[in-house]
Amino acid sequence: MRAQLVRTAVLEIYEEVRREGARADQALQRVLRREKQLRSVERRSVSDAVYGLLRLQGRVDQLLSQALASRKLSLEKLATPTQHLLRYAAYLVVGEGQSPQSAASLAGPEVTPFSWALELAAQPAEPLDLAAETSLPRWLAQLWSDQLGEAETRALAAALNQRAPLTVRANLLKNTREQLLETLRAEGSRVEPTPLSPWGVNFTGRTNVFALRAFKAGLFEVQDEGSQLIAMACGARAGQVVVDACAGAGGKALALAAEMHNKGRLVACDRDSRRLDEMRPRARRAGVHNWEARAVIDDARLADLAADVVLVDAPCSGLGALRRNPDARWRLTPEEVASFPPRQGEILERYAAPVKRGGRLVYATCSIHRAENEEVRAQFIARHPEFAPASVFEGALATSLPGSEVQLLPHRHGTDGFYIAAFRREDT
């Protein structure tokens, strides 16, 4: 592997993310699309290093700051390229287990004068505080420590600082999960069933799933296991009227259509009609045809609906998906996170109206934050006595994930950090 090419690409992407506020996935795609001379193994190395460095950035910065301070130096006062090279080298030590000498060599000659700092970073003399240890912004480490406790925060952060699994959902309109496993193994993929979702398959090796014949044939969709469980919590059935309130590009809507066996009426709603347009080619590939798209900008667009099931997968802070979007932890602010609960409550209020008597309402977020989850639920129940809490899951899942609200956690369940609450409308 050509270390200099890898290093140059990593540092360019990291600079775009850290200094220019670019999204990591977009910056990565842009650079890799341009650098066509990079081999596949080098591309994987660039991707792993960028995401790994972003996950461990807080810990790396603290370790380097402590090391440099021992000689009265400051990381922030070094030239920006030198800062990033040192961070890259320290990541190779802390995140990939390289020796300080090897990391300095891979990072380039500019780092050689600071080899001693990498030695100190590898064996720090002082303990790290919770934020640095978990590589979380200080405000987020404090928030989770207050809500979950320090031990749970450490376990959660350890999971969020790992690469997320590649999980797909078998398209039940075209095959069963068992058939999909056989098909994927015949294509040479290493796969295993997910432990919670009966629809899910985990890839245990590095695979470009979009190049697989099974994907092109619509036999599966890429979808986190927790996201699959949200669709499962809806309990959608053939012949029902089902509304996906914040459908976006339609991942959960496609799962709902499969549960409905393409029978009934599936209404995919979103404020942004362009996002709904992204669902059309996905629906064609999956063989889904019982759906309609509806751009909803006011309550009048919902007046004609009497829904058996409504799913409100509300816009949220995304704190439960930081292992997939590690750069988000450094972009988010407490003020931005605090802006979500009022909006979530408004959306839940709006989409509760079309639920008919005996119907089911499911509220979900991809967040680990009581203000976005339990508190939104409690406020909704207080305002709407006609909605009673209902079990999120039935059958075997109700044993392992009981209750009328469920918080999925990466370190406990292996999923992204989703919250799910279910209600039943009981008024006349």
- What class, spelled out in words, does domain 225-425 have in CATH? alpha beta
State the Cα–Cα distance between residues 422 and 238, nearest whole angstrom.
20
**What per-residue string of b and e applies to 235-266 under the rule 16 or more CB within 10 Å gives b?**
bbeeebbbbbbbbbbbbbbbbbbbbbebebbb
Query: Closest Cα partner for 88 from 38, 54, 134?
Result: 54
Contacts of 398 (CB under 8 A, 6+ apart): 391, 392
User: pLDDT at position 60, please?
Assistant: 96
User: pLDDT at position 206, please?
Assistant: 86
The structural domains of the chain, with segments of one domain joined by +, span 3-129, 130-161, 166-222, 225-425
State the Cα–Cα distance between residues 345 and 247, nearest whole angstrom.
17
Alpha-carbon distance values, 35 to 11, 39, 58, 281, 307 (Å):
14, 9, 29, 29, 50
Helices (H), 218-303: 225-233, 251-259, 273-277, 279-286
User: Which fold would CATH assign to domain 166-222?
Assistant: Alpha-Beta Plaits (3.30.70)
Helices (H), 36-163: 40-55, 57-69, 80-94, 100-107, 115-122, 130-134, 138-148, 150-160
User: pLDDT at position 300, please?
Assistant: 65
User: pLDDT at position 108, please?
Assistant: 87
User: pLDDT at position 408, please?
Assistant: 98
Which parts of the chain register pLDDT below 70? 1, 297-300, 428
Residue 334: CA count within 13 A, CB half-sphere: 9
Q: What DSSP string describes 107-128?
A: H-GGGGGGHHHHHHHHS-SSPP
pTM for this structure? 0.94
Are 326 and 24 spatial neighbours (Cβ–Cβ below 8 Å)? Answer: yes
Q: Are 166-222 and 225-425 the same fold in CATH?
A: no
Query: Closest Cα partner for 141 from 157, 164, 165, 158?
Result: 157
- Please name the helix (run of DSSP H) or strand (run of DSSP E) that holds residue 35, with its range, or none: none
User: pLDDT at position 238, please?
Assistant: 97
Q: Residue 269 gets which letter from DSSP?
A: E
Query: Closest Cα partner for 56 from 19, 101, 90, 7?
Result: 90
Q: Provide CATH code, domain 3-129.
A: 1.10.940.10
User: pLDDT at position 1, please?
Assistant: 66
